[in-house]
Structure formats: structure tokens, C-alpha cells
Amino acid sequence: MRLEGKVALITGGASGIGRATVEKFVREGAKVLIVDISLGSAQRAVAEIEELGFEGATAATQADVSVYSDVEAAVQRAVEVFGKLDIIFNNAGIAGGKPLLEHDPEVDYAPMIRVDQDGVYYGILAAGRQFRAQGTGGVIISTSSIYGEQAAELAFSYSAAKAAVISFTRSAAYELAQYGIRAVAITPGRVATPIINQFSEELKSTFASEQLRNKMTEPEEIANVVAFLASDESNVINGTVVHVDDGYSVYKQRLDLPTF
């Protein structure tokens, strides 16, 4: 098991990509602190993992990642419960969008920046300090998005926050390498999470058509990549962006080509 003996903290760990990654990490031998804004949801995730036969492999805590003291406390909680911290997966995020000129900055900009951007910064900072204090190194993985690298409809604030995650990752890798800390970002495409599954079948079909397999990515497929990036097998992957978008960024639209 590639994560045997490792301790991880996963934000947004009660649903979607986070929940799938919790289960993947546990199956790979890790202990995981499930962090979510809803304590009840995090506790239900713990119960589900225990029902799978992994008693004591997970614990739950509540945190609002837009508040640094909450993130710092979550890091300390992981250490209290499991004795150390080896991996943080900064995955918690929110989505939404509106045309730029219709924005109310307090509704359409500030919350996205606080959660999707500041929340990752806080995770990098709190975990980085813990890793340095332990003297054992560590791995920081953060969820960006395909939108962090390109323009998209109704995504002004979201794209800005996700672009910041990429920049944070590069800078963190550069600054923290001296402490044996790696930092990597992932850029998911269209993933079948609760956020997307709430949309109409027509819209989900359009989303699927934007990827090369013509299907939505499953959260478990992202979790497989995250587990690899968290493991020692990926020691040479540092300060970079790993595209997990099923080719979304390869093209804009399929064309019906003329006969030549």
C-alpha cells in the first residue's frame, strides 16, 4: 500500500472528489482527518469508512477554510489524533458564476476568493509550518481547475481564484523545498460531483462532450491521481500542474470536417 503509515488532512472531505480521495487514501494505508464545513457530513463520512472495515482510519472535524484559525486548528487536530501530518489535500471549494458586469462584488467575487483562493493559501501555510516543525517533509496537493488556465463563461471570479492556486503551488514548491516539502496542483475538468450533478441532463451531456472520452470524469478517477501524487512514487513531481481533465484543455469544440 503506497500510503502505509502516512497521515493526511483532506478539506472538503465529506463529498465529491474529497470523499472519494478519503476512501482511496484509507485503502492505500493512510490515516485521514476529514475536514468539512459541515461537521455532520464529515462524521457521516467517517461512519461510512468504518462500515467498509477501516475502523480508526479516519476522524472528523469542522472547519471553514476561509478562516485561517480554523485551518490551523484542523492541522493541529490531525496531529493530536494521529500523531503527525504528512499530506494535506486542499480540496474544499465553491462554484458559481454570473456575467461580470452583473456582479455584486460581495456576493459574486469575495466569497469565491475567500474559499477557493484564501482557503488554499491557509492550508499551504498551516501545513507547511507543521511539516517544518516536524522536520519530516510533507506533500501539499491543491485543487485548481481547468478554468485556472483559460477563460470560460460565467467564471471570472472562479477562474481568478483557481489561477491563484496554480501560482501558490509554484511558489510554495520553490520556497518549501528546503524543508523537504513538495507542492503540486491538479486541474480537474468536468467531474461528476454534487455541484455538477445538480444540473440538467442536457447540460451534463454538453459538459461530457467537452472531454475526449465523451463522458464525465468520476471522483474516484481524480482520487487515484491524488493518491499517486501523495505517495513517494511521485517524488520528482514538484511545483507543477497535473492536468486531470480528460483532454478538456486540448480543444474547444469538435468540428464536422468537410470532405477534401
Whether the CB-CB separation of 183 and 238 falls below 8 Å is answered with yes
CB atoms within 10 A of CB 82: 21
pLDDT for res 257 = 66
- Please name every residue paired with 143 in a beta bridge, in sequence order, or none if there are none: 186
Whether the CB-CB separation of 14 and 38 falls below 8 Å is answered with yes
What phi, psi does 192 have (nearest 5°)?
A: -75, 70
7-189+222-243: what fold?
A: Rossmann fold (3.40.50)
> In whole angstroms, what is the distance from residue 243 CA to residue 256 CA?
27
List the one residue out of 199, 57, 201, 63 whose CA is nearest residue 119. Answer: 63
158 has catalytic annotation: yes
**Strand-pair category, 58-62 with 87-90:** unpaired
Domain ranges of the chain: 7-189+222-243
221, three cell numbers: 478517477
> In whole angstroms, what is the distance from residue 160 CA to residue 101 CA?
16
List the one residue out of 147, 145, 143 whose CA is nearest residue 184. Answer: 143
The per-residue pLDDT string of the chain (260 residues; one tens digit each, 9 = 90 and over) reads 999 999 999 999 999 999 999 999 999 999 999 999 999 999 999 999 999 999 999 999 999 999 999 999 999 999 999 999 999 999 999 998 899 999 999 999 999 999 999 999 999 999 999 999 999 999 999 999 999 999 888 999 999 999 999 999 999 999 999 999 999 999 999 999 988 888 889 888 888 999 999 999 999 999 999 999 999 999 999 999 999 999 999 887 776 766 65
pTM of this prediction? 0.96
CB atoms within 10 A of CB 183: 28
pLDDT for res 152 = 86
pLDDT for res 149 = 95
Name the active-site residue from 109, 158, 248, 251.
Answer: 158
Whether the CB-CB separation of 140 and 127 falls below 8 Å is answered with yes
Whether the CB-CB separation of 93 and 121 falls below 8 Å is answered with no
